[in-house]
Amino acid sequence: MKHVTRKATRNVNQNEGLIFEKSSSGKAAWKLPPLDVPAVDTAALLGPSERKDLGNMPEISEIEIIRHFTRLSTWNYAIDLGMYPLGSCTMKYNPRVNELVVRLDGLANGHPYQPEPISQGALRIIKTLSECLTEITGMDAITLQPAAGAHGELTGLLMVRAYHESNGDPRKKILIPDSAHGTNPATAAMVGYKVENLKSNAEGMVDVAALTAQMNEDVAALMLTNPNTLGVFEQEIHKIAEIMHAKGGLLYMDGANMNALVGKVRPGDFGVDVMHLNLHKTFSTPHGGGGPGSGPVAVKQKLEQFLPTPVPITKPDGTLGFEYSRPQSVGRVRAFHGNFGMFVRALAYILANGPDGLRQTTEDAVLNANYIRKGLEGVYDLPYSTPSMHEVVFSDKLQARKGVKTMDIAKRLIDYGFHPYTTAFPLIVPGALMIEPTESEPKEELDLFIEAMKSIAEEVEEDPQTVLDAPHSTRVSRLDETAAARKPVLRWKPGS
Ligand SMILES: *Cc1c(COP(=O)(O)O)cnc(C)c1O
C-alpha cells in the first residue's frame, strides 16, 4: 500500500501553492453593485482611519479561495472522517442534537452579566446538569467551573488542601501510582505537594501492601485514575479507600475514564471523596485542538464548604441564583461560571440517552475495546492480561525485534486512513500502544482498524523500512513535534 506520487495529476493533498503565491493583480472574489447613493468622504465624516496598512493582501478569485480553504480542511483528520483511537482521550462522536440545542437563540446569545431573574433558564441547565452528574458519580455536591480535566484536578487538590488546613493538619504529600496520567503529578506539584510514587503490582493495579506501607499522617490524598491508564479497574478500590481514610487521608479519583463506569458503578459508593469528570470526553462535548473543555469536580459533603464561589443555589423565594459569600471557599477558579456551551451539550447528551442509554454506552465502549483486544492478541504483545475496560494497552515488544517502535506503527496507521493511537503512556508499559475505540464505532470500522494493524505487523516482518519511513501519504512526514508546538509558524512570509 505504498503511496504513489502522481506528478502530472492533481493531488489535493499536496501543496498546490499558497494563496499569496496565486495572487495576481485585479482578481477579486467579490463584485459590488454600482453606487446608487451620493458618495461621501468617509475620512472627513469619521476622522482619520486607525487602520494600519495591511500590506499586500492576496488578490484571488472566488473558486480559488474556496479551493484553498477546502484543501486546507482535508489536511486534517477528524472524528467525522473516521475512527480516532487515541487511548485515554475518549474521542467519541459528538451527536448533532447537542449542536442543535446549544445553538438555540436564548442559549447561544445569553450573556454572563445578564441579571439572575432573566437567566433562570441557563441557571436551570446548570442545576439540572449538576444533579445528573452528582447522581451518576454518587457524590454530594459539584462545581462546574473548571475548564478542563487538569483544571479540575487543580480545583480538587485546592479543596483537599483547604480541608486539611481547616482541620489544623496541613499535610505535605500526595501518593500517585506509576500508571497515572501525567497531569496528576504536575497538578500535585502546582498545589505545593510533594509527590510520592506508588508502585503497581503484576496485574497493573495499585499494590495494596505498598500503599499500606507508604500511607501515613503526612499524606493528604491518593490520586487514583479508575479505571487506570492500563484500562484496568482497580479491583481493591474499597480496601484502598479504607486504607486512606484510616489515616485521615482523602481519596481523589481522576474520573477522565468515566466512559467505562457510567451507569454501572458510582465512585461515591466505593469510597471516593473528590473527583473530576471530563465532560469533553465522557459526555460527548467535542474536544481536540485545545478546547473548549469542561472538568467539573464532585465532592462528598465533608468538602462541600470548600467549593469554588460563586455557588449556584436555590434562593428562599424559589428562584435560582448564585451565592458569593462562602468563607471557606477556595475562591473562583474560572471567569464567569465555566464553559456554559459544554454544559448544554453534556446535558443534551445525558437527557437524550437517559439512564438506560448511558449504561448501554458504557457497555458498548467496553465491548469495542475488548473486540480490538481479541482481534490483535498474538499480533501485538499484551503486557497485562487483566481484563480490559474501555481501552486496551499493547506494547511494541514483538515489532521492536525488527527495530520498529510504537511511534513508527502509529505513523504507518496514518497511511491506512486512521488517526494514530496514544504512544506516550502509560509509562509503565515501554513502547505502549494505547487504544480506545469508544462506543461510537460500528463493527465494520473496528474490523478495518484490526485489519490495518495486522497488515502493519506483517509489513514489519517483511519490509520494516516502509513502516520506519511512514507516513508516505501525507503532505509532510515526520515533524519535530516539540518545535511545532513551541515555535509554531503561523504567518506566511515571502519565499518561505
Ligand atoms: C484527559 C485526561 C486528563 C486531563 O484532562 P484535560 O481536559 O486534557 O486537562 C487527566 N487524566 C486522565 C486520565 C485523562 O485521560
Q: What is the DSSP string of 106-175?
A: HHHT--TTS-GGG-HHHHHHHHHHHHHHHHHHT-SEEE---SSHHHHHHHHHHHHHHHHHHTT----EEE
Instruction: Tell which CATH classification among 3.40.50.150, 3.40.640.10, 3.20.20.70, 3.20.20.60 matches the domain 97-350.
Output: 3.40.640.10
- Residue 129: which of 304, 288, 342, 287 has the closest Cα? 342
Ligand 1, atom 3: nearest CA belongs to which residue?
149
Phi/psi for 82 (5° steps) reads 180, -175
pLDDT tens, position by position, 358-367: 999 999 999 9
Cα 183 to ligand 1 centre (Å) = 7
The alpha carbon of 117 and the centre of ligand 1 are apart by a number of angstroms equal to: 36
pLDDT (0 to 100) of residue 122: 96
Q: Do 476 and 414 contact (CB within 8 A), yes or no?
A: no
Q: Which amino acid is at 407?
A: M
Q: Which three cell numbers stand for residue 65?
A: 479561495
- Residue limits of CATH 3.90.1150.10 in the chain: 364-485
Atom from ligand 1 closest to the CA of residue 153: 10
Identify which of 84, 176, 229, 278 to mutate to test ligand 1's pocket (most ligand atoms within 8 A of the CB).
278
Closest residue by Cα to atom 8, ligand 1, is 149
pLDDT in tens, 19-57: 677 788 889 988 889 999 999 888 888 887 777 766 677
CATH superfamily of 364-485: Aspartate Aminotransferase, domain 1 (3.90.1150.10)
Residue of 151, 183, 257 to test ligand 1 pocket, by largest number of atoms within 8 Å of CB: 183
**pTM, to two decimals:** 0.89
Distance 101 CA to ligand 1 centre (A): 26
Which atom of ligand 1 lies at the shortest distance from residue 281's CA?
Answer: 1
Q: How many helices (H) and strands (E) does the chain have?
A: 17, 11
**Distance of alpha carbon 15 from alpha carbon 152, whole angstroms:** 41
Say how many C-beta atoms besides its own lie within 10 A of residue 274's C-beta: 28
pLDDT of residue 488: 87
Residue 4: its pLDDT value, please? 46
Closest residue by Cα to residue 393 from 179, 186, 226, 178: 179
Per-residue pLDDT at 289: 66
Distance from the CA of 155 to the center of ligand 1, in angstroms?
14
Which residue has its alpha carbon closest to ligand 1 atom 15? 88
Whole-angstrom distance, CA of residue 460 vs CA of residue 457: 5
- Ligand 1 probe mutation, 254, 277, 436, most atoms within 8 A of CB: 254
Report the pLDDT value the prediction gives residue 139, as an integer from 0 to 100. 98
Neighbours of 443 (CB within 10 A): 10
Q: Which of 378, 372, 369 is nearest to 458 (CA)?
A: 378
Specify the pairing of strand 173-177 against strand 219-225: parallel
Neighbours of 355 (CB within 10 A): 13
Mutate to test the pocket of ligand 1, among 178, 181, 258 (most ligand atoms within 8 A of CB): 181
Q: Give the Å distance between the CA of 257 and the centre of ligand 1.
A: 9
What is the location of CATH 3.40.640.10 in the chain?
97-350
CA distance 56 to 62: 18
119 Cβ neighbours under 8 A, 6+ residues apart: 110
d(CA 365, CA 132): 21
For 204, residues 6+ apart whose C-beta sits below 8 A from its C-beta are: 179, 228, 230, 232, 383, 384, 386, 428
Compute the distance from residue 276 Cα to the ligand 1 centre, in Å. 9
| Residue 83 phi, psi (nearest 5) | -65, 145
- The whole-angstrom separation of Cα 280 and Cα 288 is 9
| Average pLDDT for runs of 10 along the chain of length 496 | 48 56 85 91 81 75 88 85 93 94 94 94 98 98 97 98 97 95 95 96 94 97 95 96 98 97 98 98 84 93 98 97 96 94 97 97 98 98 95 97 98 96 91 97 97 98 97 88 87 64
Ligand 1 binding site (Cβ under 6 Å of any ligand atom): 88, 148-150, 181, 183, 225, 254, 256-257, 278, 293, 295
- Sign for the CA dihedral angle at 253, 255, 259, 264 comes to positive
Rounded to the nearest angstrom, the distance between the alpha carbon of 223 and the centre of ligand 1 is 13
Q: Which atom of ligand 1 is nearest to the CA of 150?
A: 9
